[in-house]
Structures are given as structure tokens and as C-alpha cells.
Amino acid sequence: MRRLEGTIVLTTWRQFCKLSPPSLNHIHMHAIPFSDRNPTPQNNIVSWNKMIAGYVRNGQMRVAHNLFDEMPVKDQVSWNTILSGLHNTKDPDGVNRCFLQMRRDGFRPNEYTISIVLRAFLGTVLNVLVPQIHALAILSALNSTVFVGSALMKGYANVGDGVAMARVFDEISAKDVSSWNALISSYMELGCMHDAQRVFGGMPERNVVSWTSLVNGYIRNGRVNKARSVFNKMSAKNVVSWTVMISGYVKNQKFVDALELFLLMLKSGTLPNQFTFSSVLDASAGCSSLIFGQQVHSRILKSGIPEDVTLSTSLVDMYAKCGDIAAAFCIFGSMPKKNLISWNSIIGGYARHGFATRALEEFERMTNCGVRPDAVTFTNVLSACAHGGMIEEGKSLFNTMKSKFGMEPQVEHYACMVDLYGKAGELEEAEKLIHGMPFQPDVVIWCALLGACGLHSSLELGEFAAEELDKLESDHAAIYSTLSRIHGERGVWNSVLKLRKTMKEKGVQKQNAGSWVESARVIR
């Protein structure tokens, strides 16, 4: 870096973006004095914009925003850069406030501005502003461009307005293949598969993205077999196409199909990327195939693909779910960056393997690192407490959800607490908790209670739980088997004979040994 008459000259923009945060701070320190001397030239604005972009790329939004506020003169690039940063950090409210301030300051949005704002609002309460953004695009004569039109179609699909979405498509003056692809994706998001197929059939030209959009749309709508049928018809497939189909199988819990398709992908000569490997590791975890997962891990190392946080988390999850918790923790410990999903994977792994104390230790480490737990985190730690018989710790964590983290316990958290109380023999506390729930108990709740009654031979409460399960048309084999065992342990043999007779009349087969937790998952 060197100074030239009030301007910081950067060696190259690419090198600048790779600078570490301390280096960026050094540049910032030297930039402010020079901007104070000569704040108005256009080349000075370029330097400010580059510094802001560097901070944004390094995830230092607070510093970027402070620098943005200090700018003596801003241009369109300045506003778009900070809007993009706010969108990347999933701050739709911040995008909205910044966009409003931009308009108040007299700046007109361009295509990129409209696209950023629309993408930031998708899936949030702010998506109701899509029609207003559309109106602004019309006033700015931007609605007829492909870039803005595609973003608007996605926006209207997100709010469920298919009529307005089709009208936006008609407004595009020069439609290219990307605008047709956006229309297909938008129809699929609305669940209008017939319309999407019709549009696909009427396209003047198609590319691999067109085919992949159709495949992905069918997967999103639960039509995985139809998606595979379309996938098989593709004359040219790229890594994205293969990954979408593999991921679709994983999402629909067809793990073996995902692994078989991955092998076909390798035979085709298409090289997998980190997203492909992540999906395949999830498939390996889903069918508990440790050997396949280890082979995939070996291939990742040989391919030279950098293990980012997503890929590393998939490795942790795979090893944890396949029984090698030591390998899972080894990979977790070597991760330079960890996100919430990473922490949930290792905590859940320890919980499943019965290491309750280790699960709680990792939970404490996570919160001490400033990572905020979510509903999955609490399900994992409460489950760990239930397996480990840690009643007081479980109670404390359950109460902490609302008092410390402002989270309302959901049905799965109540189920964990019922399981915790039940295994400890505190059936009255479990029943009291169920009656105090803010919503109706589901199958998992009653299964947990009935399982506890079977464990402690509580006949009256067990029959009550069985009645509630019967109303929900649950697994009759599991219900009758547990009740029969309770009656037998209490010596009420007449009731045992009656239950077996009822099972025979209803054609209910005797249940093999299993877990109530697994039964509840199947029922759900």
C-alpha cells in the first residue's frame, strides 16, 4: 500500500478482498485522515467503497456500517454495497431501513438495488412490500429488465400471487432463457407443477438450468420420482444437476437411492463439489453407513476440496450418527469456524451416545462462544438429560429456554421433559406437565408417558395414556404390548388374556423389542 495525493492506491482489488481484518483496520486508519483533507474527489469515493466492500466480504458489518456512516460523499455503489452486506447477514429490517434512507437522500435505485431488496424480503414479514417495490421499479423504468423481472417473479411467488407473477413476466421486454427459468421456478414454488411443465414445454430454448429448475421444483413439491424421470431425460448434466437430485433423495429420506446416484455420477465423469459431498455424507448418516461415509471422507481429502463449515459439519454429523463419536469430535475440534449447526451436530451426537455430561459441556462452551441456541439445541440437551437421568439439569435448561433465551418450549421439548420425569419415576410430575401444556399433546408426548408407565408398572396412568394414543390412531401393537406387560407385572392376568384376545381379533401382531422414541418417530 502507498499514498498518492489523498488517495489510497490498492495493489489489486482481488488482493484487497483477501486481506485479513487486521490489515483492513490498518487501511481504515490511514484512510480517514486523507479523506478529511480532500473529501470530495470521485476517486476518493472509490477508495471508500473498496474499503467498505472489503469489510463486508470479511463479515465485519459493524465496521463496514460505521465506515459507511463516516463517508463524506456517497454514490450508488456505496448504498448497494452496504445493502448487499445487510442482506448477506440476514438483516431484512436493516435492508429496509437503509433502503428508505437511500430514497430520502435522493438516490434512485438501479437494477442491482431492487434485486437486493427483493431477495432480502423473501420469506420474511417484509415480503408484503413486494407490490410496492414493483411500483417503484415501474416508476424507475426498471420493471422491463430481465434482472429486475426475475427478482419480482420470485417475490410474487413468495407471497403466493401467481397472477401478478405472470404479469411481471409479460412486462419483460426482451425475455431470455434466464427469465423463462425464473418463471418455472416461481410456478414450482407456488406448487403449480402443471403450469411449470407447460412453460418448460413452450420455451424457445432450454439450457441445463432449465432442466435443473424443473427437477428441483418437483423435488420441492414432494414428487421425487417425477424429478428423477425428468433428470433421466437430461441430455447434458452438470455438477449442480447431479447435486440437486442427490439432495432431493436425501430430503425425502431415500438415502440408498442418493448413494447409488452418487456412484452413477462418479462413473459419468462429473466431479463432485463440496455441496455434493455434503449431501452424500448426509445420506451416509441417514442409513448409518459408516464405511461409505469413510470412503467419501477419503475422497474429499484426495480431491483437495477445502473443508468449509458446511462440509465439516456434515462430516461431524455423519460420524456421530454412524457411531464413531471420537472421529466426530476430532473433526469438530479441528474446525476453525463453527456455526450453530456444527454445535448442534456434536451435542446431538453426544446425546445419542449417552454422554450426557459431555453434551452439556459442549452446550456451555457454545453459549460461552456467543452462539445462540435454537429449538434443536434444546431438544438435544434435554434428550441428553433424559438419557443420563440428570433431572435437575434438565429442569434448569427447560426453564432457561424462556427466561434466558426468550424461546417458548415446543412439543418436542415437552416430550423430552415427560421422558425425563418418566425415566426418573416422577410420573405425577410428568402428568402435571402434560396437563399444563399450552397446546394439545401429540403422539410423541403420550408415547413417552406410556413408555414411562411401562418402565415403572403404572397401570392406571398407563391405561389413560393408551386411551389417548388410541384416539390418535397410533401404533396399536406398541400400545397393547406395553399394556400387556404392565398388567403382567402387576399380576392382573385376566386383563392380559383380554388384551391378547383383543389383539388377535384386531389382527394386531405382537411388537418386537424396540424403543418408544423410535416408535414415536415412525408414527409422526
Grid coordinates representing 245 are 437430485
Q: What percent of the chain has pLDDT over 70?
A: 78
Alpha-carbon distance 391 to 403, whole Å?
18
pLDDT tens, 112-171?
999 999 999 998 999 999 999 999 999 888 888 888 999 999 999 999 999 999 999 998
Burial class (CB in 10 A: 0-12, 13-18, 19+), 371: middle
pLDDT confidence of residue 198: 95
Provide mean pLDDT across the span 191-218.
94
Q: For 101, phi and psi rounded to 5 degrees? A: -65, -35
Quick check: 519 pLDDT over 50? no
Q: What is the dihedral of CA 192, 196, 202, 206, to 10 degrees?
A: 170
Grid coordinates representing 394 are 434438565
Q: What is the pTM of this model?
A: 0.75
Which stretch of 282-291, 325-334, 414-423, 499-508 has the lowest confidence by average pLDDT?
A: 499-508
pLDDT confidence of residue 504: 45
pLDDT confidence of residue 72: 86
Quick check: 491 pLDDT over 50? no
Alpha-carbon distance 269 to 376, whole Å?
38
Provide mean pLDDT across the span 236-242.
96
Alpha carbon 302 to chain centroid, angstroms? 28
pLDDT confidence of residue 286: 93
**Binning pLDDT at 50, 70 and 90, where does residue 308 land?**
confident
